[in-house]
Structure formats: structure tokens, C-alpha cells
Copies of this chain bind each other. A is one copy, B any other.
Amino acid sequence: MSQKPSLPRGTRDFGAAEVARRQYVISAIRRTFERFGFAPLETPSFENLSTLTGKYGEEGDQLLYRILNSGDFLSDVTAEDFGGGYRKVAPKVADKGLRYDLTVPFARYVVQNRHALTFPFRRYQVQPVWRADRPSKGRYREFVQCDADVVGTDSLLGEAEIVLMIHEVLTTLGLPYVLKINHRGLLRALYHQLSVGAGALESEANALTGETAEPSISEADFYTALDKLDKIGVGGVRDEMIRRGLPEQLSDKFSNERLQIEDLAQPLSSFRLAHLSQQGYAATASGQTAISDLENLLHLLEESGFEGWANLELDLTLARGLSYYTGCIFEVKIPGASVGSVSGGGRYDNLTEGFGLKGMSGVGFSFGIDRLCDVLDELGGYPTALETTTQVLLVQFEEPATRAAALRTLAQLRAAGLSAELYPEPAKLKKQFAYADAKRIPYVVILGPEELAAGTAKVKVLATGAEHELALEVELVRYLLAA
């Protein structure tokens, strides 16, 4: 029985050229991570579902790939379960799931190995993750993330190094970028605006002590709405907040007074932070922490000789959906590219708490390799000649003596470190040259009966058509090594 082969949606094969491009991007990131003192970690492709579920919100749980238990996976499923539908059945037929990101497996690893690790613990991780998401431009069901995290310290040096590494990697790749920064404390200050009416940030303390009512929209819902500002605009966020429970009047007031986009996303600078203080953000405890954190971050960057100032933007709407961020939040976009963010991260104080380990503050970020590659494809940023192809093809002739000479020469070329092949059959010369052409092999070595008798080989340079007759084997090997 034969079948037309195909790939699952949202997945891709990578041929030699794509592998070379992906390796180019990954190497740039890996080199930077290593010079910043991060060491590699690899975790299994699947984890127990108990490790994964409940960590990515309800939407994330739905995007997890679950692995059917081996053998009789129905053995624990009763007819009643079956009647209860798939949500009831799922936990009984699958106890493992594919890695959804690298952060949760990292938290699991840290807790599991906490007695053996040296803290602050710095690790990087480059591995694929899987999400049962709807495939679209820049969104795949299997994609590779490159994460770097440091846990066990709340030093802002971690945040500063993230900015430095993002700058270094993207500069190395020749990509322009905008690094958006926000702080959970500023988001929270904005949120409490809602409960007291816009323009009175200093009342957050009162709001927290219960002197004013909690806003009628949840904190998470508010961030979700706000996060969409650049997609749906001020009016859209206003409507979204109403839909999620905020009274129309409050939503209007807040949108008019606080959601002026030009005001919300501005270059990050001491000047800008001072302005925020004037606007009342520093009057609240969380706002004060946020502004002081960001000021310290700027100092650290200055002292580190940071040169990417023009790329930094303070974006007060940046929330990145994930509710686990507790301090600075980062996101990187590439101007002129049609994919979403290529990097993101932030500080989290409670990530290992779900695994029973409290008080382990950390900060980390992730590059999306597939999107970086898409951007480089789109903007044309790859160096030429990345692909590792065969450098030398030896032609095969009928005569046994020439084959023996070719095999000996082949062994010598390889021993010298060259990538070389002997065409596997004594086919017509035209066919053998067509093979070299199609594979873009730059040099073809001809070692026929005449050359063999003369103790030489002919090298043909396919790009120019030039031919060189060289003595076997030292002269030939030298020529090709230098070519």
C-alpha cells in the first residue's frame, strides 16, 4: 500500500540551506550567552502533565500536546467517563505532554536539583517547543526557543545583562530592533487608576487598604485588554474593558486620560522616568519600585558602556500576557518585519513556587529562532555562502586503476579536512558534472587514465570554467586547501 507522504500542519523540514541558516542564528546567540557566563541545559521533550498544566493559563493548557499513554490507554476510562466528554477522559488517557516552553521545565529542574546547584544559577537552553496553535505567518507548531535565565538573586544586573545580550545578538545579526520595556509596578499603578478614577494615582495606597472599591475588572483581564492596544487601538481597549466588566464611564475616563499611545510608548530615559514621577506614578509603592528599578537599570547599562540607547522604549502597555512577571518586562520587535516579537522576557519571583520552592527570584528571556530566521529571510540579512556543501567532487572513470587512484586521493583530501566525494558510479562525464552543478560543488577533480599516467589531476573550477593540472597528491591537496 503506498500513500502520498505529507507533513503535519505547522511543521517543516529543513534542508541543508535552512539548517545552515538556523545554525548561524543559534550560534550567534549561543556565543553571546556563553560569554555572559550562562551554561547549557537540556530537558526532555516531554514532561509529566502535572508539571505542565496550570502553568500557562487556560488557553495555554488547551495548546499543550498530550501524549497518549502506551498500551491499553483506555484501561482507566469508565463508560461514565466516556459519557462525560473529552475533558473528563483526557487526564485518564494521557499523563505526559510535549514541552510548551523552556521556562517551566527550567523551574522544575531548579527545584528538583536545588541541593546540587550553585546559586545564583545561570543557564541557557536551546530546544524546540510545541504548541497546538493555529499555524500562521511566523507561528509554527514546532519551533525553537533560546532562553537564558538567572535565578537566586534579585539583582538588577540580570535585567541589564538581558538588554546587553539582546543588543549584542541583534547587532551581530545586523538587525535593527526596538526593545520595549515595562515594569509590573507601572502596570499595577495603571490598574489601580481604574478604581479611583484617572488622574489620582497617589490613591493606590488607599485602594489597597480598602478605602476605595476594587475595580470591577480583574487585574489579569485589564492587562490582557491593555496588551492589545497596538492591535485594536484606544477605542478597542475601551470596549474590551467594558466587555470585561468595567463601567462605561470609568473606561471612557481612563481611555481618554491615560491611553494616549504617543504618551505610553516613549524612549526610555532618565528624563522620561522623571516625567512619570511628575505624572504621579512614583506616588504609589509599586510605581516607586518600578521607577527606581528602571533608573538603576539605566545606570547599570551606562556603566557597562551600552550603546543601544536609541533602541530602548518604555511601553506602559506591555504586559506579555503571562501573569508570572513581577518586575521588569521585555519585548523585542524588528521594525519593517512582518512577524511579531522575536524576543521577550522579564523578572519573576514565584516561578518555582508551584513546585514547592519559594523565594527564588529570577529573570530571563527568550529568542524565537524561527521568527529571527523569518526576519532574516525577509530583510535579507544572511551572510553569503553559509551552507556547508561538498567542496570537491572526484569524477569516477571506468578503469580500475583510476578508481584506485581516486579513492586514495579522496582519502587524502578528507584527511586534510576538505569535504569531498567520489561520484559513486563511472557515469558519463556530463552526468557527473551536472551533479556537481546541481549541488553547487565548486571544484571537480578529473583523474582519468591520461592524468594518472602523468601523475597529475585536473581541477576544474565550475564558477569560472578554469582548469588547472596539478601533481598528485601534495600539489593537488595544497591547491584545494588554499582555494
By a beta-carbon cutoff of 8 Å, the part of chain A in contact with chain B is 1-8, 11-16, 18-20, 34-37, 39-48, 50-51, 54, 62-63, 65-68, 70-75, 77, 79, 82, 85-86, 89-90, 93-94, 96, 98, 108-109, 111-113, 118, 120, 122-123, 128, 130, 132, 142, 150, 153, 155, 157-158, 164, 300, 303-305, 353-356, 387-390, 403-404, 407-408, 410-411, 414, 417-422, 424-425, 435, 438-439
| Interchain nearest-CB distance for A413 vs B (Å) | 8
Instruction: Known A13-B109, A410-B304, A414-B35; judge A8-B47 contact (CB<8 A).
Output: yes
A5/B51 in contact, CB under 8 A: yes
A419/B35 in contact, CB under 8 A: yes
* Residue from A74, A404, A439 with most neighbouring chain B CB atoms (10 Å): A74
The prevalent SS among residues of A at the interface is: mixed
In Å, the complex CA distance between A182 and B47 comes to: 40
B46/A150 in contact, CB under 8 A: no
| Interchain nearest-CB distance for A386 vs B (Å) | 12
* A72 proximity list for chain B (CB < 8 A): 85-86
* A3 proximity list for chain B (CB < 8 A): 50-51, 354-356
Closest residue of chain B to A75 (Cβ to Cβ) is B86
With A3-B354, A15-B39, A37-B419 given, name 18 new contacts (CB 8 A): A3-B355, A5-B108, A5-B111, A6-B51, A7-B44, A7-B48, A11-B44, A19-B42, A34-B388, A39-B387, A66-B67, A68-B94, A72-B86, A73-B90, A74-B85, A79-B82, A158-B424, A164-B411
Identical copies in the complex? 2
A36/B68 in contact, CB under 8 A: no
Report which of B35, B70, B424 forms a contact with A150, defined as CB distance below 8 A: B424
B424/A155 in contact, CB under 8 A: yes
In Å, the complex CA distance between A285 and B12 comes to: 44
* A73 proximity list for chain B (CB < 8 A): 86, 90
A68/B90 in contact, CB under 8 A: yes
A304/B4 in contact, CB under 8 A: no
Closest residue of chain B to A93 (Cβ to Cβ) is B68
